[in-house]
Every structure is written in C-alpha cells, then in structure tokens.
Amino acid sequence: MNQHPDIPLDEWLSGEGPDSDIVYCTRVRLARNIEGYSFSPMQEPPEATALLRTIQQALQPLAKNRDLQWIDLEQEDSFSKQTLVERHLISRELQMSDRPRAVVVDEKGRESLMINEEDHLRLQFFRAGMQLQETWRAADRLDDEIADLLPYAWSSRLGFMTSCPTNTGTGMRISVMLHLPALVITKEIEKATTAIAEMNMTVRGLFGEGSHAVGDFFQVSNQRTLGESEDQIIENLGRAVESLVHWERRQREEFRKSPLYIEDQANRAYGVLERARILSSEEAINLLSRLRLGRLLDLIEEPSLADLNRIFLMTQPGHLQTRSGRELHPGERDRLRAEWVRAILSGGAEPQPE
C-alpha cells in the first residue's frame, strides 16, 4: 500500500452508467467491527492505535491483487481530508473525528475502507449510475475476503454487531444518488419524498446525514438494517428508486413539450458560469444542476456532460485547496472557483493561485 493521497478522478463520477440521466451513482456501505476491541467511540487512544495496526497488518494480503492506498488521517492536512469527503471516500464524521483513524482507498477511487469511524470498519463501494446488484456483489466479495483475515463481531441472533443499533443486522446501507431537477422545479419533490419515506427509505442531500439538498441532488437509502436480508433491502430500494426515476422522467417529458423555461434556466446558468468572478460552492452546484437538465433535454448544445462533472468535482473547497497547495480563505476559494469554471468552459489553461 502506498502512502500518497493522489486519487484519480473516479470512474463512477464519469456521469455514465445505467440510467445516468437521473442516477448519478450507487453506493453500498457495510458496517463491521472486530472482535476483542471496544467500539470505536469508546476507545482510549492506545486501543485505537492498536486496532489500526491490527487492521493494517491483517489487510496486507488484500493489496496483492489490488492497488490500495493506506491513508493515515492523522497525518493529512485539513484540505486533503476535505478532498476525501468531496470524493465521498470518507464521511464528515471521519474527517472531523479526533480518534486515530485511517482510510484505505482503491486505485480507482471507487472503493474505500474507513477505519475507526463510528465502527471499526466501514466498507464503501461506488458504481456509476443505477447498479444495485453489481455494487452489492462487489461489496459482498470484499467483505468475504476481509472476514477471512479479521474476526468480525457477529451474533447468530442479531447478525453483525455495530456501534449504533440502527446499523445492527446486515450493517448495510445502500444508497442511490439521484438528480431530480424536474421534480424540484415542479415542486413534485415534496410528494415524492413523502412517498419514499412511506416505503421506509430515507431521502437526504448530497453529503449524507444532516445535509440539505443542494443543486437538486438527493440520496435515497434504506432505513432498516435488521429483519430484512440484503436481497430484500436491495429489492425495496430498487423499487423506490425506480418510481422516482419514472416520476422525474415524466416531468422531464412535460418540459420537452414546452421547453422555454428550462431552456432559459440552462442558458442563464451557462451565462453566469461562463462569466462570474465570484462563485460560491452552493451556487455553482445549483447552476450546474440546471445546466445539466438543459443538456440532457438537448435544449443547449454546450458544455459536455464530462465538463459539467469535472466542474462539479474540481470546484469543491477541498479540491480547490489541494490544487492550490495551501489553505484558502472562503473569498479566495470563491474567486478561484470562478476561475476554474471559466477555464474549463473555455478549454483554457488551469488557473494558478496567487
């Protein structure tokens, strides 16, 4: 395992994959704990350090077939950690925690093992578009391999033991990130999220727990982990997501019939992105969202979806700071973000921070 956190642009952020007009990506997260250690939130630092060493040692064989990076988060500066959050490779909780902790990241940046988050191990798997089965199978495979290397805390009655009881059982959270601008514009989104909640699913914003929806992006995930098998969870989530996808597509078809409003919104968004000198992260995402809808409905010819995805990622605070090699004040970030956007949209050179 090498030590350098220079993760490539993940293929699951390519904007491709099944149903990619609406489904951005699929994520499976498994919560696992190792027998013989206290749950992470109750550890004293020496126990946490010992656990980290045990896991690092035990996982060595995994690196044989994979190009893995072990990233000790106590060694990382704040904007490197922020970048990992923006790639969804670590959670905000792991970013902010003061425990000894680490993350293992695969070479494509689409799988990560968070170590000493709320649980000893949190395995995360990302795939582009709607890929519930494929993502789950990848997770299941690695989970089996790790189970051969480390003794999981498991009860025959409850299943996998977790730090928080809401995860006990399968320890699985499967979520799908959706782009639902048409439902937001038509205000159907409230009805839609109520319907999803009634199917025992949770709807959240872009960065998980506690985050509000920005730029019309939503995460739908299972609420229950106990009393249902992984296959049942996947089936139920699949049904919920399919209904949202269907609903969003129907609204988009309506817009296709009278496209003026979306054409206007997409063009305005493009005009501002092309020219603004100051751009907040939230505004950028909102503009990208409306521009993306216009592109998908062929109401505007430029820019490419690939450029939109690149802007989406590159203009987040951690990425900007990592590229700059130093911490930036919010004001500097908003300026550099606008420069990046203009550079990408004009096909020009990357901006250099002062």
Question: 138 or 262: whose CB is closer to a second copy?
Answer: 262
Q: Does 264 participate in binding a second copy (rule CB under 8 A)?
A: yes
Residue span 324-343 as binding mask against a second copy, x where in contact by CB under 8 A, dash where not: -----------x--x-----
Go through the chain and tell me how many residues it has: 354
How buried is 67 (Cβ within 10 angstroms: 0-12 exposed, 13-18 middle, 19+ buried)?
exposed
Question: 92 or 342: whose CB is closer to a second copy?
Answer: 342
Question: 272 or 305: whose CB is closer to a second copy?
Answer: 272
Helices (H) and strands (E) in the chain, counts: 12, 10
Pairing of strands 159-160, 201-204: unpaired
Among 137, 141, 191, 275, binds a second copy (CB under 8 A): 275
Q: What is the CA radius of gyration of the chain?
A: 21
H or E stretch at 202:
strand 201-204
- Count, residues near a second copy per rule CB under 8 A: 17
Minimum CB–partner distance for residue 345 and a second copy (Å) = 11
Q: Is the dihedral of CA 47, 208, 83, 305 positive or negative?
A: positive
Distance in angstroms (rounded) separating the CA atoms of residues 303 and 283: 18
Q: Does 302 participate in binding a second copy (rule CB under 8 A)?
A: no
From 218-226, 227-235, 247-255, 269-277, span contacting a second copy (CB under 8 A): 269-277
Distance in angstroms (rounded) separating the CA atoms of residues 324 and 283: 21
Among 276, 284, 296, 328, binds a second copy (CB under 8 A): 276
Q: Does 277 participate in binding a second copy (rule CB under 8 A)?
A: yes
Q: Does 288 participate in binding a second copy (rule CB under 8 A)?
A: no
User: Site residues (CB under 8 A) for a second copy?
Assistant: 260-261, 263-264, 267-268, 270-278, 335, 338
